[in-house]
């Protein structure tokens, strides 16, 4: 009986020859990541010192801290938090990535997405490192376990395997694939499991697309998502890898809790209607709905592929009168690439507000909506109050749909723009 990639990674970090789903193990994460956030890092840093007497972490190279929320700070208290984070990383000799972009993306850029590695964070969207064969989990408050102790207690998860076949039609993107998956499998389909993405279509998919899909895994109930890293993934990840590890792969006879196949060629653009990420609907049923603002960005969808799709729609066009479009590349590296390709010029010329990378648009800290307003968003989430007033609404969609909706001031199909 074979093993899944997840079982192989967890066996190695638990110091065991093999583990099976259901086993309870003590696993030593290769990397422990976090972004500074009140109630998380400030509390953890204090607890480490006061409750555990840890003045300095034992293996600083295992830790990575990001400043990506509250960037730029809008109050002295926020800047104080960042100051505390800078002090902690200096004292602990831990790498700090400030203003480089959203940490989950920067993690890949700087090599924490080491194929075969086990990574923990408090935030579940770190699952996107799974694109590169990295097992990356969000532990919420329990990440303290990884800061204060060497090992974390974990029950080896079962795996649901989804095989992607066929080719995506124009105007349909990775966002549509993921939300289609939530629709057909269900928002509880992968509870406490790993979502393993495979199948022949993966080879033709960009890292960007797979990061989108794996980064949203939590909305299927999964604890993370992972891809068996092919040549395209390894070409990106291995030269940057922060640790020498042999990539591992699921065996052909690995045991899965369930197996599904999705034919990409049959997908259409979707929208996820408020107030739940479980509400996948066909875009065609919502065309014409008035929209006031748009957010193109986030750790899920603000990469160069998303920027290109939006720019293709926006080139030579203007954002509708009264529509507030915010374009926020996920990282500085992506922003530079977008500038070189002339995409930033397209956005600015169309009337978009183009911002340096920040997490703050995704949760309404800036570009905040008033009651009654409605957004299209490529952000992670559409729950009530996520981008401002509890009485505002968020429709999640892909970057092309977002751009077409910005042009029309209402939910719009991007395909006429892309084909014409």
Partner 1 sequence: MTMKNLRGRVAFKFDEIDFDVDQIVGVKNIKTTNMDELSKAAMQEYDPGFASAVRPGDLLVGNHNFGYGHPHYPPMKAMRHMGIAGVLAESFSPGYWRGEISMGFPQVSCPGILAFVERWDEIEVDWAAQCVRNLTQGTSIAFEPLPRADLEMLEAGGLETYLKKRFLNEPT
> Nearer Cβ to partner 1, position 175 or 386?
386
**How many other C-beta atoms lie within 10 A of the C-beta of residue 188?**
11
Q: State the nearest-atom distance from the C-beta of 262 to partner 1, in Å.
A: 21
Q: State the nearest-atom distance from the C-beta of 150 to partner 1, in Å.
A: 5
Contact between 93 and partner 1 per CB under 8 A = no
Contact between 179 and partner 1 per CB under 8 A = no
Q: State the nearest-atom distance from the C-beta of 389 to partner 1, in Å.
A: 8
> Nearer Cβ to partner 1, position 62 or 161?
62
Phi-psi region of 116 (alpha: psi -120 to 50; beta: other; left: phi over 0): left
- Cis omega (within 30 of 0) on the bond before 318? no
Q: Which stretch binds partner 1 (CB under 8 A): 135-143, 163-171, 239-247, 309-317?
A: 135-143
Nearest to 301 by CA among 121, 136, 163, 178: 178
Q: State the nearest-atom distance from the C-beta of 94 to partner 1, in Å.
A: 15
Q: Using CB under 8 A as the criterion, what x/- string covers residues 245-284 for binding partner 1? A: ------------------------------xxxx------
Question: Which residues, in sequence order, are CB contacts of 316 under 8 Å at separation 6+?
Answer: none
> Nearer Cβ to partner 1, position 31 or 417?
31
> Nearer Cβ to partner 1, position 40 or 323?
40
Separation between Cα atoms, residue 187 and residue 130, nearest integer Å: 19
Angle between the N-to-C axes of helices 399-408 and 304-314, in degrees from 0 to 180, rounded to the nearest 10: 30
SS3 4: coil
Q: State the nearest-atom distance from the C-beta of 280 to partner 1, in Å.
A: 13
Question: Which residues, in sequence order, are CB contacts of 256 under 8 Å at separation 6+?
Answer: 4, 158, 159, 160, 161, 196
Candidate residues 73, 110, 148, 267; the one interacting with partner 1 per rule CB under 8 A: 148
Nearest to 395 by CA among 375, 410, 409, 415: 375
Contact between 150 and partner 1 per CB under 8 A = yes
Q: Which stretch binds partner 1 (CB under 8 A): 80-88, 142-150, 197-205, 315-323?
A: 142-150
> Nearer Cβ to partner 1, position 64 or 124?
124
Q: State the nearest-atom distance from the C-beta of 187 to partner 1, in Å.
A: 5
Count of chain residues binding partner 1 (CB under 8 A): 39
Instruction: Give the DSSP letter string of 150-187.
Output: S-EEEEPPPEEEEEEES-PPTT--HHHHHHHHHHHH-T
Contact between 153 and partner 1 per CB under 8 A = yes
H-type alpha helices, 278-322: 304-314
User: Using CB under 8 A, which residues numbered 186 to 245 contact partner 1?
Assistant: 187-188, 191-192, 218, 221-223
Contacts 24+ apart (CB under 8 A), 81-87: 81/36, 81/37, 81/38, 81/41, 81/42, 82/36, 84/36, 84/42, 84/45, 85/36, 85/41, 85/42, 85/45
Nearest to 338 by CA among 219, 241, 208: 208
Q: Which stretch binds partner 1 (CB under 8 A): 83-91, 184-192, 340-348, 396-404?
A: 184-192
Q: State the nearest-atom distance from the C-beta of 223 to partner 1, in Å.
A: 5
User: Using CB under 8 A, which residues numbered 34 to 73 contact partner 1?
Assistant: 47, 51-52, 54, 58
User: Using CB under 8 A, which residues numbered 337 to 366 contact partner 1?
Assistant: none
| Beta strands in 222-308, from DSSP E residues, in sequence order | 224-227, 258-263, 270-272, 280-282, 293-296
Candidate residues 138, 199, 274, 297; the one interacting with partner 1 per rule CB under 8 A: 138
Q: Judge residue 395's burial from the number of C-beta atoms within 10 Å of its C-beta, 0-12 exposed, 13-18 middle, 19 or more buried.
A: buried
> Nearer Cβ to partner 1, position 51 or 235?
51
Chain positions contacting partner 1, by CB under 8 A: 24, 47, 51-52, 54, 58, 124, 138-142, 144-145, 148-151, 153-155, 187-188, 191-192, 218, 221-223, 275-278, 381, 383-386, 390
């Amino acid at each position: 009986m074979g093993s899944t990639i997840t079982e192989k990674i967890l066996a190695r970090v638990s110091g065991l020859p093999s583990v099976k789903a259901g086993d309870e193990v003590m696993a030593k994460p290769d990397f422990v990541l976090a972004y500074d956030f009140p109630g998380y890092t400030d509390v953890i840093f204090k607890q480490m010192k006061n409750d555990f007497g840890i003045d300095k972490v034992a293996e600083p190279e295992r830790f990575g801290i990001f400043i990506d929320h509250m960037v730029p700070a809008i109050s002295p208290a926020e800047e104080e938090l960042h100051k505390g984070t800078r002090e902690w990383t200096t004292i602990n000799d831990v790498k700090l990535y400030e203003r480089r972009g959203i940490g989950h993306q920067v993690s890949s850029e700087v090599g924490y997405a080491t194929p075969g590695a086990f990574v923990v964070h408090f935030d579940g969207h770190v699952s996107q490192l799974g694109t590169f064969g990295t097992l990356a989990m969000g532990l919420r408050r329990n990440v303290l376990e990884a800061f204060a102790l060497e090992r974390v207690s974990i029950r080896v998860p079962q795996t649901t395997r989804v095989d992607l076949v066929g080719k995506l039609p124009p105007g349909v993107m990775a966002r549509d694939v993921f939300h289609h998956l939530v629709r057909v499998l269900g928002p509880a389909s992968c509870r406490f499991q790993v979502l393993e993405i495979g199948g022949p279509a993966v080879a033709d998919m960009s890292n960007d697309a797979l990061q989108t899909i794996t980064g949203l895994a939590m909305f299927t109930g999964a604890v993370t998502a992972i891809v068996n890293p092919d040549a395209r993934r390894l070409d990106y990840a291995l030269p940057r890898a922060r640790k020498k590890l042999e990539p591992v792969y699921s065996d052909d006879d690995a045991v899965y809790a369930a197996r599904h196949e999705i034919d990409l060629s049959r997908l259409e653009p979707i929208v996820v209607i408020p107030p739940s990420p479980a509400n996948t609907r066909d875009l065609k049923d919502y065309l014409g709905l008035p929209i006031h603002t748009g957010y193109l960005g986030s750790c899920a969808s603000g990469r160069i592929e998303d920027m290109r799709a939006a720019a293709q729609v926006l080139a030579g066009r203007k954002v509708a009168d009264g529509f507030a479009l915010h374009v926020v590349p996920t990282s500085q590296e992506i922003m530079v690439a977008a500038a070189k390709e002339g995409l930033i010029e397209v956005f600015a010329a169309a009337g978009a507000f183009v911002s340096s990378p920040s997490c703050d648009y995704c949760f309404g800290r800036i570009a905040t909506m008033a009651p009654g307003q409605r957004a299209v968003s490529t952000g992670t989430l559409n729950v009530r109050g996520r981008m401002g007033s509890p009485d505002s609404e968020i429709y999640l969609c892909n970057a092309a749909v977002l751009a077409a909706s910005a042009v029309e001031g209402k939910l719009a199909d991007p395909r006429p723009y892309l084909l014409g």
